Amino acid sequence: MFSRRGLLQSWNEVRSYFIFSVILFFAGIVIGGSHSAPVEFLESQLKGISQIADAARKSETPELTMFLLIAANNIFKSIMVMGLGIVAGILPIVMLVANGLILGYLLSGIADNGQNVWLLIVKGLLPHGVLELSALFLACAFGIRFGMTLIKGIAGSALGKSNSWQPFVRTATGSVPALIVVTVVLFIAAIVESTITYWLMS
C-alpha cells in the first residue's frame, strides 16, 4: 500500500481523473465569470465564506481561528468527496464545478469593481491555493474513480466477468495513502492561508 511501486501504480490509475478534475474546476471558473452564472446560488455560497472570515476577525486570535476553521472545513470536505464519490462520482464533480463557479464569480466581481485581479490572485490565492487545489483535485480524482470502478464492478459481476472488482479494490487501497497526503497538504495550506495570505491581504 505504502510502497513506492504501489503509490506509483495508484497515481497512474488516478491520473486521468486528476486531469479531469482540473478541467472541471477551470470550466467552472469560466462559467462563474460569465453572464450565465447562477448568481443567487453563488451569492449564498459567498455569504457562507464571509461568515468564516468574520468569525476569524472577531476572534481574539484571528490567525489561529482562521487556521482551525479552514483546516477543519477543507479536510472534512475532502474526506467526504473521497468517500461519497462512490455514488457514481457525482459529489466530487459537483464540488469541483461549484468551487470553480464561486472563484470565477468572485474574480469577475472584483474586476467589475475596477480592482487588480492579478494582484489579488498573486497575494490572496497563489500562496495557499497551489497546495489547497492540488489536494482538492487529488481527493476528487479518487472520489470519481471510486464511483466509476463501482459501476464497472457491478456491471462486470452482472455479466459474469472475473476480477471485475479489482479496480475498485485497488482504488480503495490507494485511497488510504492518498487521504494522508491530502490531509497533510491541506494542513500546510491552512497554515499558509492563515498566516502568509492573511498578512498579505491585510
Percent of the chain's residues with pLDDT above 70: 94
| Region of 114 on the Ramachandran plot (φ > 0 left; ψ -120 to 50 alpha; else beta) | left
Q: Which three cell numbers stand for residue 198?
A: 492573511
d(CA 75, CA 135): 9
The pLDDT score that the predictor gives to residue 162 is 73
DSSP state of 168: H
Give SS3 for 35.
coil
pTM of the model: 0.86
Q: How far apart are CA 63 and CA 58, in angstroms?
A: 11
107 vs 110: CA distance, rounded Å: 5
Q: What is the grid cell recorded at 75?
A: 479536510
Identity (one letter) of the amino acid at 39? V
- C-beta of residue 63 within 8 angstroms of C-beta of residue 49: no
- Distant-in-sequence, close-in-space partners of 132: CB < 8 Å, separation ≥ 6: 74, 185, 186, 189, 193
* pLDDT the model gives residue 202: 65
What is the tens place of the pLDDT at every residue in 10-54?
888 889 999 999 999 999 999 988 887 787 878 887 777 777 777
Cell of 173: 487501497
For residue range 67-119, list pLDDT tens digits in order: 777 778 888 888 888 887 777 678 889 889 988 998 888 888 888 787 777 88
